[in-house]
Amino acid sequence: MPSEAVVSLDRSTLRERALQALRSAITSGHYRPGDPLRETDLATGLGVSRGTVREALRHLQQEGLVTAGARGTLRVHMHSPAEIRELYQVRAALEGLAVTLLTASQQRETAVQMLREAVSRLDESHRSLSEHIDADLAFHLLLCELSGNSVLVNTWKHLEGRVRITILSDGDENHHQIMSTSHHAPIVDAIEAGDAFQALGVIQQHMMIAADRLASSAD
């Protein structure tokens, strides 16, 4: 009986490690949108069974990172312009709720200080696109976390991988402009002023600009 429990735990741990490795490979850009994901090659590279890889890929399909192409071949999902706009509409709704909650929060002053520190890291020089995306998404995650709504945070995190590969697939360094301080400071200014209407408008405009930029590149 104890040995069976150990085997079950080992399999579970192995599956989770394979899932984390594949998710990281996709969201870091090692595998690009449209790249095929062959079970045999992945299993060999990870040193696990094809069954373990299959389970991990099934989970990544549920996350929207992997999709079945022609003849059932699994590939890294390539978002269509319509999907990108929908993705950013949901982000606008989630982060709009976050800024609305923050403007009414008794902890607003502390939150503003933390957000300004996060904004200051956006324009640090000599960063790769991947590192800049990390800083950008760290700001937006912090925005959600400071709202105090755990369901909001968990929902946002579920979308993070799809957002990351969408930006990476753009492949244009000009996207740095959207992730700059000048595009984020107004969000914090509105929160500091306690103006929920303005904060909501700024975050919605921010998401609309990003969606238009990314969707046009995906055409």
Of 76, 105, 130, which residue is a domain's last?
76
Give the pTM. 0.87
70 and 109 assigned to the same domain:
no
Q: What is the CATH number of the domain that holds 24?
A: 1.10.10.10
85 and 60 assigned to the same domain:
no
Measured CA angle at 121 (ends 182, 110), to 5 deg = 90
Q: What is the CATH number of the domain that holds 92?
A: 1.20.120.530
72 and 113 assigned to the same domain:
no
47 and 130 assigned to the same domain:
no
Q: What is the pLDDT of residues 79-126, one digit of tens each?
A: 999 999 999 999 999 999 999 999 999 999 999 999 999 999 987 756
How many folded domains does the chain comprise?
2
CA-to-CA separations, 178 to 26, 50, 181, 189, 208, in angstroms, rounded: 22, 40, 9, 17, 11
* Average pLDDT along the chain: 89
Domain range for 207: 81-218
